[in-house]
Amino acid sequence: MNGKTGSSTVRRSLGALLKGELALKPIPRNMTDYSKRRLSFFRFDDESEDKLTRWMKRNLSIAFHVYLGNKGELALLETELIKATILSLNIINNQEYLYIDHLKSIRKECAAFARSNMI
């Protein structure tokens, strides 16, 4: 649970949900994303990443299972699990989630904030 929002959909979703409460600051993930028009990506500044990590450690638990199949099988299993459990923090393969539009919207707001504050 150490801060890398730029590569974690769970951290991006949680951060977007907690942005106001924790005073998190979205920033561009990297300049390459913007030059390649990948405008939905963002991360949080270092202080915000630390705040988010502390919140996650206080409020979440994690479990894992060693899977011995190949990457293709694992991807299918992941999709099946998302659909079966309707994980609220995943956007891809989760269109049945009741609040998916809200989650997409607040993540877009974070990305727009990051773009507007490019260095």
Backbone angles phi, psi at 108, to 5 degrees: -65, -40
- The string of pLDDT tens digits covering residues 46-61 is 999 999 999 999 998 8
Identify whether the C-beta of residue 73 lies closer than 8 Å to the C-beta of residue 40.
no
pLDDT band at 109 (very low <50, low <70, confident <90, very high): very high
Single pTM value for the model: 0.72
- Output the average pLDDT for the chain: 81
- The string of pLDDT tens digits covering residues 30-88 is 666 666 555 667 889 999 999 999 999 999 888 788 889 899 999 898 888 877 776 67
| Structural domain count of the chain | 1
Beta-carbon neighbour count of residue 32 at 10 Å?
10
Query: Mean pLDDT, to the nearest integer, of 86-114?
Result: 80
3-state SS assignment for residue 99: coil
Domain that holds residue 59: 5-116
Query: Mean pLDDT, to the nearest integer, of 13-26?
Result: 94
Q: Can you spell out the DSSP letters for 10-65? A: HHHHHHHHHHHHHT--EE-S-HHHHHTT-TT--EE-HHHHHHHHHHHHHH------
CA dist., res. 100 & res. 58, Å (int): 25
